[in-house]
């Protein structure tokens, strides 16, 4: 019996270049801030936090630790697993909302790695950032422009959390994760994807700049200031996620021509355990197929998917050829899904 080619395999015949995901890595700060410690800072309890979010602890970067440091550590591990040298990399895409420098941090990571041949740039799509960067990188490979691409998701949201606001300070943590994607002429392992944005809901989750007027001349003023703390309408974000995330995964599966029962692992952005559970139920994916590390790290934004992926790979859960349905969602509002095979 001959199996019909998937959409990814059909595309490979047309363009001649597919994608393999050959390495992963992750890094988190040493500082652990657990729920008991948070209870000393704001009026809350360990039971209240865990029952509503699934989070028990999170990692927070010290003043000496930078996003660039964490991202470099994760990237080094991913490159090593892939069997490449940093000088083999053609492109580095950094997904982050918390760069060390507003002009971007990808080039500094490139220098730290010694990836002297690689083009490097930042991409911002908040908690969806890693998947958006993953799909962006894939297009460079499929068109034959680059062969070896490093995709990093990293955020240090502790810089922008109001640690007196129990609605948000319980949620976020810091970290970095990375994968290496390579050109593959025998099989395309990125089977399908779908990306979405809805700016009409932008005010549901923001980290906004607040300008203050500064007069330059009697007739000319500019706005200078700083970014405000993270603001979130938790109820609206929850409603958005439980509705849109299953939809976007179903669309990506349709594009990949893969039924949901062929999915080996569901890999969601680690935002809230209730969201993870609701999406799995909607898709009829059993709990043992849902990857998660939310309890230990909290919401690490663009880093959450690659950190969870790397841990599952290194623990031996994910095997070469396993089909992974990944989905990210967050500020923008943005959301997306990618269906891919590991290895």
CB 3 within 8 A of CB 125: no
Q: Angle at CA 155, nearest 5°, toward 104 and 308?
A: 130
DSSP letter assigned to residue 299: B
d(CA 138, CA 135): 5
Catalytic residue list contains 169: no
Q: Which of 35, 127, 148, 293 is catalytic?
A: 127
Catalytic residue list contains 35: no
Beta strands in the chain (DSSP E): 18-27, 32-34, 57-59, 91-95, 119-123, 148-156, 174-184, 190-197, 205-206, 209-215, 221-227, 231-232, 265-268, 290-291, 323-330, 334-341
327 φ/ψ angles, rounded to the nearest 5 degrees: -150, 135
Residue with token string 């590991």: 342
d(CA 291, CA 269): 10
H helix or E strand, kind and range, residue 265: strand 265-268
Burial of 266 (0-12, 13-18, 19+ CB in 10 A): buried
Q: Is 288 helix (H, G, I), strand (E, B) or coil?
A: helix
Q: Is 148 helix (H, G, I), strand (E, B) or coil?
A: strand
Q: Which of 184, 269, 293, 296 is catalytic?
A: 269
Q: Is 342 helix (H, G, I), strand (E, B) or coil?
A: coil
Catalytic residue list contains 288: no
d(CA 121, CA 100): 13
Q: Which of 35, 293, 296, 299 is catalytic?
A: 299
Catalytic residues: 127, 269, 299
């Amino acid at each position: 019996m001959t199996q019909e080619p998937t959409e990814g395999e059909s595309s490979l015949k047309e363009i001649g270049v597919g994608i393999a995901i050959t390495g992963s890595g992750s890094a988190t700060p040493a500082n652990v801030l657990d729920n008991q410690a948070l209870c000393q800072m704001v009026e809350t309890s360990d039971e209240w936090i865990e029952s509503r979010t699934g989070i028990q602890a999170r990692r927070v970067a010290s003043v000496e630790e930078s996003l660039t440091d964490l991202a470099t550590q994760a990237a080094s591990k991913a490159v090593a697993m892939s069997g490449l040298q940093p000088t083999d990399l053609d492109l580095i895409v950094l997904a982050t909302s918390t760069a060390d420098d507003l002009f971007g941090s990808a080039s500094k990571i490139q220098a730290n790695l010694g990836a002297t041949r690689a083009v490097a740039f930042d991409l911002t799509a908040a908690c969806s950032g890693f998947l958006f960067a993953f799909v962006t990188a894939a297009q460079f490979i499929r068109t034959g422009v680059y062969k070896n691409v490093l995709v990093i998701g990293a955020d240090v949201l502790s810089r922008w959390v109001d640690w007196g606001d129990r609605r948000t300070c319980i949620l976020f943590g810091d970290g970095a994760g990375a994968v290496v994607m390579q050109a593959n002429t025998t099989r395309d392992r990125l089977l399908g994807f779908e990306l979405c944005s809805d700016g009409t809901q932008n005010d549901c989750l923001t980290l906004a700049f607040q300008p203050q007027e500064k007069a330059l001349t009697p007739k000319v003023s500019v706005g200078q200031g700083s970014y405000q703390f993270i603001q979130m309408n938790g109820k609206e974000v929850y409603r958005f996620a439980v509705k849109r995330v299953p939809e976007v995964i179903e669309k990506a599966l349709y594009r990949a021509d893969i039924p949901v029962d062929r999915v080996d692992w569901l890999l969601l952005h680690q935002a809230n355990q209730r969201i993870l559970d609701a999406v799995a139920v909607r898709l009829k994916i059993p709990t043992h197929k849902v990857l998660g590390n939310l309890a230990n790290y909290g919401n690490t934004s663009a880093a959450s998917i690659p950190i969870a992926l790397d841990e599952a790979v290194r623990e031996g859960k994910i095997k070469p050829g396993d089909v992974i349905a990944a989905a990210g969602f967050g500020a923008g509002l943005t959301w997306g899904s990618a269906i891919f095979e590991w290895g």
